[in-house]
Structure 1
Amino acid sequence: MTTVIGLASWHSRGSRLSQSFRLCRRTLFTVLALESSADDTCAAVVTSSRQILSNIVVKQHDLHEGFGGIHPTVAIEAHQRNMPGAVRRALEDAKLMMQDVDGIAFTRGPGIGGCLSVGSNAAKSLAAALNKPLVGVHHMQAHALTPLLTAPVDQTPEFPFLTLLISGGHTLLLLATSKTSFEILATTADESVGRSFDKVARMLGLSWGTKGPGAALEDFCRKDTGDVPNVGSFPVPMPGKLAFSYSCLHSSIERYLASTQVPLTEGHRVALARAFQDAAAQQLCEKLTLGLEKLSLRNINPRHVVVSGGVASNLFLRTRLRAALDNYSPNVKIGLVFPPPELCTDNAVMIGWAAMHRFLAGDHDDYSIDLRAKWDISTILDVNSRTPA
């Protein structure tokens, strides 16, 4: 097991430490992690003592904006260009050499198959060449476990907790009973909340900027244009049912725009963006409350709710969820936990941390491990038990 010291103690990448200084170092397990499930090329180094030594994320927004969404072939080619440099930068930022890494983790699924293969092939090749243990990680499990790494010790979520995973690919409400056991309470009947944000941003003609279309829409909602007309509200689908539907919401915006006979003013566009964002948040809040009510009937009363995934960085949504939990449980405060904004969107830090418990238990994957572009999070234990060690 490799030992790691503070970053300031390293003088150069190839430096050697004296034997006496080595004795002062703490023993840690150090993981190099790779993530390439969608359009971000990511590499990071994390340790078993909850240290984030590096976090490299190479965005592709400028490549995909013209397509209105992720173009798989373009994304794969960009991952192939970016992954070697991302790995090199992750090691340099961590002040480590490859031989200092104890294990290598990667996103096994779910995601875009060709994109997943770039991170998978890189991780397996490095692990096999250097005789390092390898662990493949479920992408959404990693999002759910991120607060176990980032939250202050006194605010760390305790099992069982509810987790709301909201991103461009997923909208899931889960009951987490351990690091590997998740019960699906609700999922989307059509498209994810993140994809709905992206589509509406495109309908309103918003530039992606450096953070992507969903973040651009949130910023646009805060814009002060003076004259903002009343465009009404949009309903929450399937009332009383534990299921999400965001296709109907973005379709409502689409129909509204189609029925408008004159070009929209900027104030009118802001009003539509705000109405959409409000309805999107309302649906998440209502389904979260319904999930808590259903669990209470089973005598399960989680004391924490973890919200992660790219949409979790939306500050308007964070405020609405806090209010919804306070309204549901005014006397007993339910903790609402988010990763830092930079760890809400895809990153390799979460992949390394989600793999850590398996590395420490000596539970590794074979170098021939396959990808799972579609992977039900409730089957993690079953899938891993069939993986050669």
Structure 2
Amino acid sequence: MLSPSRFWPRGHRHLRTRLFTVLALESSADDTCAAVVTSTGQILSNIVVKQHHIHEDFGGIHPYKAVQAHQLNMPGAVQRALRDANIAAAQVDGIAFTRGPGMTGCLGVGCSAAKTLAAALNKPLVGVHHMQAHALTPTLTSAPNPPTFPFLTLLVSGGHTLLVLASSASQFRVLATTVDESIGRVFDKVSRMLALPWSAKGPGASLEEFVAASPAREDVAPLMPRAMPGVLGFSFAGLHSAVERFVTAQGGAASLDVSTKHGLASAFQRTAVGQLEEKVVLALRWCRDQGLGVRHLVVSGGVASNSYLRDRLGHSVINATRQDPVSLVFPPPELCTDNAVMIGWASMHRFLAGNTDEYSILIRPKWSLDDDIDIPQTES
């Protein structure tokens, strides 16, 4: 399995003298996750407990219900992660958890559990930036040819739409973000507007599955707006509004036949993904003009599991970088959505460097990747 030696700062190499095992927890939104990961890149366990059956009736994540579910599920998730890894809690070398960003109450469950475990077991503790973890996942999963720093990363999820330059495991520069809604949130909202039943992966995934089920009529959808052309930034509110106006004018989702829903969903997905394609090409050109030597585009986050997005980005990156090729890298779909494996892996360089957090560490529901995310802090 992949060794982390090529990813951590050179000054830390003398610390990699033995296997280091991390128990990691993730609870930033509606998935309760626990995993055991080693410094050699072994995934010893990966537990993800979904809450979709709880939130579908509310049309989205209900904060109070999500916290309750995390409180119910976290002890069992930790127990299963240790059992699947065939390791006792006392044998774990460190405890990692998602410190932020995310939903305040949900983050608090994971933080409290991690701090209690670390204190009881007398183990070091590291709080991890959720989007840093998404960005670094392919450095674990893409053996034998992982992305090398610096690389460009597109982070697309229910809470974020970011283009980020990753210079190291802890140094990130945000090149573009959304001025309004994230692409994942808009996928979820359009799915609900069309009254699509949630799939096992959630409302956004149900829209992708619905579009892929049969050919869509191209003549039934409204003109979808092109957002911020030529600008390195994202905006999905206009696209959301266009779909909402069309559905309302037709008398609501109940008045739409299946063919019309297919046409509308297809046009929405094509336009939303097209915006990602355009902005990625702009960012790649910027990196080239700056002479940064970027050779990889990493795409991660829950929306990165979308097969249509993967296919379209593959074509656009190839076409845009024929003279100076850039490789497109995706984690496996099961590690695109929230999981604790990525949290454990993102914490590893800090554990190996002895750069850990105090047990008094607090969560950070709002936390930019532009911040220095590896300095231990005790204030939110």
TM > 0.5 = yes
> Is contact 1:45-1:91 (8 Å) kept?
yes
Matches within 5 A, 1:61-80: 61-80=52-71
| Higher mean displacement: 190-199 or 251-260 | 251-260
> Is contact 1:32-1:43 (8 Å) kept?
yes
Q: Which residue of 2 aligns with 1:11?
A: none
Q: Which residue of 2 aligns with 1:145?
A: 136
CA distance in structure 2 between the aligned counterparts of 1:236 and 1:150, rounded to whole angstroms: 34
Q: Which residue of 1 aligns with 2:201?
A: 211
Q: Could you tell me the TM-score, scaled by structure 1's length?
A: 0.90
Q: CA deviation at 1:369?
A: 0.5
CA distance in structure 2 between the aligned counterparts of 1:97 and 1:131, rounded to whole angstroms: 14
Moved over 6 A (4+): 225-228
Q: Which residue of 1 aligns with 2:190?
A: 200
Q: Which residue of 2 aligns with 1:4?
A: none
Task: Specify the code of the residue in structure 2 equivalent to 1:310.
Answer: G
Q: Which residue of 2 aligns with 1:107?
A: 98
Q: CA deviation at 1:326?
A: 1.1
Please tell me whether residue 342 in structure 1 is matched to residue 342 in structure 2.
no
Please tell me whether residue 87 in structure 1 is matched to residue 83 in structure 2.
no
CA distance in structure 2 between the aligned counterparts of 1:376 and 1:27, rounded to whole angstroms: 33
Task: Specify the code of the residue in structure 1 equivalent to 2:210.
Answer: F
Q: Which residue of 2 aligns with 1:42?
A: 33
Please tell me whether residue 268 in structure 1 is matched to residue 260 in structure 2.
yes
| Higher mean displacement: 142-151 or 243-252 | 243-252
Q: CA deviation at 1:348?
A: 0.3
Among 250, 254, 259, which residue is 2:240 paired with? 250
Q: CA deviation at 1:72?
A: 0.5
Deviations 1:134-183 (A, max 9, x none): 000000000000001110222x1111100000000000000010111111
- Find the structure with the greater CA-based Rg: 1
Distance 1:294-1:333 versus aligned 2 partners, 3 A rule: closer
Matches within 5 A, 1:312-323: 312-323=304-315
Q: CA deviation at 1:28?
A: 1.2
Structure 2 residue runs of 5 or longer lacking an equivalent are 1-16
> Is contact 2:357-2:377 (8 Å) kept?
no
Q: CA deviation at 1:240?
A: 1.0
Q: 3-state DSSP class of the match of 2:370?
A: helix
Matches within 5 A, 1:180-199: 180-199=170-189
Task: Specify the code of the residue in structure 2 equivalent to 1:280.
Answer: A
Among 54, 58, 63, which residue is 2:49 paired with? 58
CA distance in structure 2 between the aligned counterparts of 1:30 and 1:123, rounded to whole angstroms: 15
Instruction: Report the count of equivalent residues.
Output: 361
Q: CA deviation at 1:256?
A: 1.1
> Is contact 1:170-1:193 (8 Å) kept?
yes
Q: 3-state DSSP class of the match of 1:332?
A: coil
Task: Specify the code of the residue in structure 2 equivalent to 1:380.
Answer: D
Task: Specify the code of the residue in structure 2 equivalent to 1:341.
Answer: P
Distance 1:384-1:170 versus aligned 2 partners, 3 A rule: same
Please tell me whether residue 325 in structure 1 is matched to residue 325 in structure 2.
no
Please tell me whether residue 120 in structure 1 is matched to residue 111 in structure 2.
yes
Please tell me whether residue 240 in structure 1 is matched to residue 233 in structure 2.
no
> Is contact 2:217-2:262 (8 Å) kept?
no
Q: 3-state DSSP class of the match of 1:208?
A: coil
| Higher mean displacement: 72-81 or 262-271 | 262-271
Same amino acid, percent of matched pairs: 60
CA distance in structure 2 between the aligned counterparts of 1:160 and 1:169, rounded to whole angstroms: 24
Q: CA deviation at 1:294?
A: 2.0
Q: Which residue of 2 aligns with 1:33?
A: 24
Q: CA deviation at 1:209?
A: 2.4
Q: CA deviation at 1:231?
A: 2.2
> Is contact 2:208-2:306 (8 Å) kept?
yes
> Is contact 2:225-2:238 (8 Å) kept?
no
CA distance in structure 1 between the aligned counterparts of 2:184 and 2:216, rounded to whole angstroms: 28
CA distance in structure 2 between the aligned counterparts of 1:37 and 1:240, rounded to whole angstroms: 33
Q: Which residue of 2 aligns with 1:171?
A: 161
CA distance in structure 2 between the aligned counterparts of 1:136 and 1:317, rounded to whole angstroms: 31
CA distance in structure 1 between the aligned counterparts of 2:161 and 2:85, rounded to whole angstroms: 33
Task: Specify the code of the residue in structure 2 equivalent to 1:164.
Answer: L
Q: 3-state DSSP class of the match of 1:380?
A: coil
Structure 1 residue runs of 5 or longer lacking an equivalent are 1-25
Deviations 1:174-230 (A, max 9, x none): 001011111111000001000000000000110112110011000000122686644
Q: CA deviation at 1:259?
A: 2.0
Matches within 5 A, 1:257-296: 257-260=247-250, 263-296=255-288
